[in-house]
Amino acid sequence: MECENILIQAFADDFVILLKASASYKFAEMSKNIMLQFERWANTYNLKFSENKTKYIMFKVSKNITHFPGLYLYGKRISYTNELKYLGIIFDPGLTFMTHLNRVQEKIIKVNEKLRRIIRATWGIKPEMVKEVYLTILERIILYGVEIWYKDRVKMNMKLLQIQRYPLLSITRTYKTTSNEALQILSGCLPIDLRAQMWKLILR
């Protein structure tokens, strides 16, 4: 559903409502009728939205957010959050997506550690097989939703290269002090920031 300054999107049992307003207090006014319609729709089909799982976030345009409006579902105030996850992507107030990449980094470190344990337990998997795992699994985890969150900025590119570094060390089995450029050459893997730029152009 899309109206002026309002967009409602649903995927399976996940709903997102986007509201646009010039002042934060207007969100409270705009949300009242929308939330009532949602409650009535749910009642029609004997459904109920979870008050505890329902959160809201505000995206700042130029100024910092100082006023947080009261939005309600079933008479209960909806909690504000600085990190809102929707379909696997974490949104933050500034839409920097650095929080999202920090979570991706944590996931890659865990998966990469499991991979390194397997390598040690099996007396070493061939680098080609480790590279295949990286290309088919880890790189896809890193670049999931890239068309939404990627921006060609120095800070983001540095974070992506930092994340890519873990699996490249597993592929090449070189010293931890080896430079990113050397790891990319030895592994034969493209810099992840270039892959992100490429996939964003393809998926747009």
pLDDT in tens, the chain (204 residues): 556 789 988 887 888 999 988 888 888 889 999 999 999 999 999 999 998 999 999 998 777 777 889 999 999 999 999 999 999 999 999 999 999 999 999 999 999 998 888 877 666 678 898 999 999 999 999 999 999 999 999 999 999 999 999 999 999 999 999 999 999 999 999 999 999 999 999 988
pTM over 0.85: yes
- Strands 14-19 and 89-91, sheet pairing: unpaired
Are the CB atoms for 100 and 24 separated by under 8 Å?
Answer: no
Phi, psi torsion values for 43, nearest 5 degrees = -60, -35
pLDDT value, residue 10: 85
Burial of residue 154 (number of CB atoms within 10 Å: 0-12, 13-18, 19+): exposed
Q: In what order do the strands lie in the sheet with 14-19?
A: 2-3, 6-11, 14-19
